[in-house]
Amino acid sequence: MTAISAAHRTLPLPSIVRVTNLQNGRSLVVRVNDRGPYARGRIIDVSRRAAQLLGFLKKGTARVRVQVMAKESRQLAARLRGGKGGRLAKGDSPIIVDKLPKPTVVSENLLPPREGREAERTSPLSPVRIASAPPPSHNREGAPRAPHVSAPPDLSPRVSVVGVEETKIFVQAGAFANFENANRVRANLTGIAPIKVTTVLIGGRDLFRVRLGPLKGVGDADKVLNKVIEAGYNDAKTIVDGASEAAASHVVTY
């Protein structure tokens, strides 16, 4: 809990993400190393220290934007896998080093031993010689060079601040390619909370989103989400929309 870490349900382990608190603008890079959260309406769990740095430790929840840092995530995964495509085997070291020099072996074919003293003079092992390994390379100061180790991503707890925009919280029952399906869902959920169908262009096609809200806070969103799920829409989720972004973020807990 004192480390800068987080839990996510689907991201590869480990991953590096940037979590931005949309309510105060604080942004922090964290390492995802666990599974969760398991509560509905939550996108990510962060450690106590991360929540403190992001400024919502006492509140328990916050509206956040989670951005995957693909390059840093790949570097970390490659380092832990030893530079290979597979998983880190049991007993393997996560540190990457240069290959050590191997001794060379020189061999000769042995002649059949002669009788008497000639056979005694010819030892079966004498023609086999093992060359010594070359000495390790040295730098200009004469000290042996240190093995190469891949540098891990910088995960020092540095908090940056971005501009804060007005955000609104919704519960999205679903997104549909057919307007009639979306309108049917809207009719089924009428009365739970203010609800409407909006359009969004994703992947070159229009989708019709059914959203309830805007809601006052995370607590109200949790209540509405539970009612929507009880109505049979198990894929419903909590969404936080920014003033300039169509689909901003979700809710984080610690």
- Domain-wise residue ranges, the chain: 5-75, 169-240
- Check if the beta carbon of residue 213 is closer than 8 Å to that of residue 186: no
> What pLDDT shows up at residue 162?
81
Cα-to-chain-centroid distance, residue 205? 29
State the Cα–Cα distance between residues 27 and 204, nearest whole angstrom. 31
Single out the residue of 64, 61, 65 nearest to residue 222, CA to CA. Answer: 61
Does residue 14 sit in helix, strand or coil?
A: coil
State the Cα–Cα distance between residues 191 and 159, nearest whole angstrom. 42
pLDDT in tens, 205-220: 999 999 999 998 889 9
Six-digit token string for 205: 């096609």
- The sign one gets for the Cα dihedral 116, 118, 123, 127 is negative
Sequence-distant (6+) residues with CB within 8 A of 211 are: 170, 171, 172, 173, 195, 196, 197, 198, 239
Point out the residues of the chain with pLDDT beneath 50. Answer: 85-86, 88-89, 91-95, 117, 119, 122-123, 125-133, 147-149, 243-249, 252-254
Q: Please report the DSSP string for 203-246 in residue order.
A: TTEEEEEEEEEEESSHHHHHHHHHHHHHTT-TT-EEEEEETTEE
User: What's this model's pTM, rounded to 2 decimal places?
Assistant: 0.61
- Would you tell me how many other CB atoms lie within 10 Å of the CB of residue 21? 24
> What pLDDT shows up at residue 34?
94
Single out the residue of 221, 156, 157, 169 nearest to residue 23, CA to CA. Answer: 169
Does residue 30 sit in helix, strand or coil?
A: strand
Sequence-distant (6+) residues with CB within 8 A of 140 are: none
> What pLDDT shows up at residue 161?
85
Single out the residue of 44, 81, 178 nearest to residue 186, CA to CA. Answer: 178
Residue 69 backbone dihedrals phi, psi, to 5 degrees: -95, 95
User: If one looks up domain 5-75 in CATH, what number appears?
Assistant: 2.40.40.10
State the Cα–Cα distance between residues 104 and 122, nearest whole angstrom. 24
Amino acid at 77: A
Does residue 200 sit in helix, strand or coil?
A: strand
> What pLDDT shows up at residue 94?
47
> What pLDDT shows up at residue 134?
52
> What pLDDT shows up at residue 78?
86
> What pLDDT shows up at residue 125?
46
The residues pairing with 208 across neighbouring beta strands, listed in sequence order, are: 176, 199
- Check if the beta carbon of residue 16 is closer than 8 Å to that of residue 50: no
Six-digit token string for 120: 């005694």
Single out the residue of 194, 240, 221, 212 nearest to residue 40, CA to CA. Answer: 221
* CATH superfamily, domain at 169-240: Sporulation related repeat (3.30.70.1070)
